[in-house]
């Protein structure tokens, strides 16, 4: 169980205006990765996004209230798997509260809620408590039975399939984690593979499916906005696969 996450499921609000993705400052940020591919690109991106400012696990609550704010209602956050808009003040452990979902399951590498991977808000999202429990530490794949509390999400004994609107978000969060955490300074060495049932190994799957989801659900304005907030206000590092979606294929394709 990857607890610290849907009932009514209104459609996601209208898209917000995206940040300017032609920003020369972003080009400068990634200048050392220019022209690279494969393992050389992965290494270069790791060096760029490494050593971010780390939050405590309690500080994550307030950060998520900002990064995942509902643009249609500033008092609410949007929950990842259900899409439900819910009061920021209903965070906690109750049945219909929202809590902090580790999209890269924290048992995959056994990093728990320690500062670093356990508090990295590039992969932490608000989710309904019981939906979070249903997802548990499952790998990602297609298929299974529909989750009754979060329609559009499916699961079976070894995998979870998120709703179509966030499939790409999930993939890009895992791409980020696999590049950011390479075993430096006691951190786990996280890697993507094409398996499920990865257990406590520092692996997450299923890579081929994540690449498909990345293509099927392109980066949207809300994802770009979230990346900017994390960069400018909290961790001061970026998710490269939001800024340059083509790099996923360059590294893992």
Q: Which carries the bigger pLDDT value, residue 39 or residue 16?
A: 39
| pLDDT tens by residue, 179-220 | 999 999 899 999 999 999 999 999 999 999 999 999 999 999
* Cβ proximity of 169 and 217 under 8 Å: yes
Residues 6 or more apart whose Cβ sits within 8 Å of residue 81 = 5, 6, 101, 127, 128, 131, 135, 147, 150, 153, 162, 163, 166
- Average pLDDT across the chain, whole number: 92
- Residue 14: the pLDDT is 42
* Residue whose structure tokens are 């996923």: 248
Between 214 and 24, the more confident residue is 214
pTM reported for the whole predicted model: 0.91
In this predicted structure, the answer to whether residue 12 has a pLDDT above a threshold of 80 is: no
**What percent of the chain stands above pLDDT 90?**
90
Sign, Cα dihedral of 221, 32, 234, 100:
positive
What percent of the chain is predicted at pLDDT more than 70?
91
Between residues 76 and 6, the one the model is more confident about: 76
So where are the chain's domains?
A: 24-252
Separation CA 51–CA 179 (nearest Å): 12
Q: How confident is the model at residue 55 (pLDDT cuts 50, 70, 90)?
A: very high
Amino acid 25: pLDDT:
87
**pLDDT tens per residue, range 86-134:** 999 999 999 999 999 999 999 999 999 999 999 999 999 999 999 999 9
* Residue 145: exposure state from Cβ atoms within 10 A (0-12, 13-18, ≥19): exposed
Binning pLDDT at 50, 70 and 90, where does residue 59 land? very high
Residue 250's pLDDT is what? 98
């Amino acid at each position: 169980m990857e607890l610290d996450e849907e009932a009514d499921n209104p459609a996601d609000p209208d898209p917000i205006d995206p940040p300017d993705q032609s920003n020369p400052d972003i080009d400068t940020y990634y200048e050392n990765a220019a022209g690279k591919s494969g393992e050389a690109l992965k290494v270069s991106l790791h060096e760029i996004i490494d050593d971010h400012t780390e939050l405590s696990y309690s500080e994550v609550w307030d950060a998520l209230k900002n990064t995942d704010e509902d643009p249609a209602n500033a008092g609410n956050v949007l929950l990842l798997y259900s899409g439900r808009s819910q009061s920021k003040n209903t965070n906690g452990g109750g049945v219909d509260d929202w809590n902090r979902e580790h999209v890269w399951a924290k048992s995959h590498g056994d990093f728990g809620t320690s500062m670093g991977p356990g508090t990295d808000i590039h992969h932490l999202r608000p989710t309904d408590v019981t939906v979070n429990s249903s997802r548990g530490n499952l790998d990602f794949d297609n298929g299974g039975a529909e989750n009754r509390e979060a329609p559009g999400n499916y699961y079976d004994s070894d995998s979870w399939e998120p709703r179509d609107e966030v499939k790409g978000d999930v993939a890009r969060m895992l791409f980020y984690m696999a590049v950011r955490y390479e075993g430096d300074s006691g951190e786990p060495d996280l890697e993507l593979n094409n398996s499920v049932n990865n257990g406590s190994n520092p692996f997450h799957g299923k890579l081929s499916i994540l690449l498909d989801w990345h293509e099927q659900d392109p980066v949207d304005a809300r994802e770009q906005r979230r990346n900017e907030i994390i960069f400018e206000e909290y961790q001061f590092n970026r998710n490269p696969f939001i800024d340059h979606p083509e790099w996923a294929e360059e590294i893992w394709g």
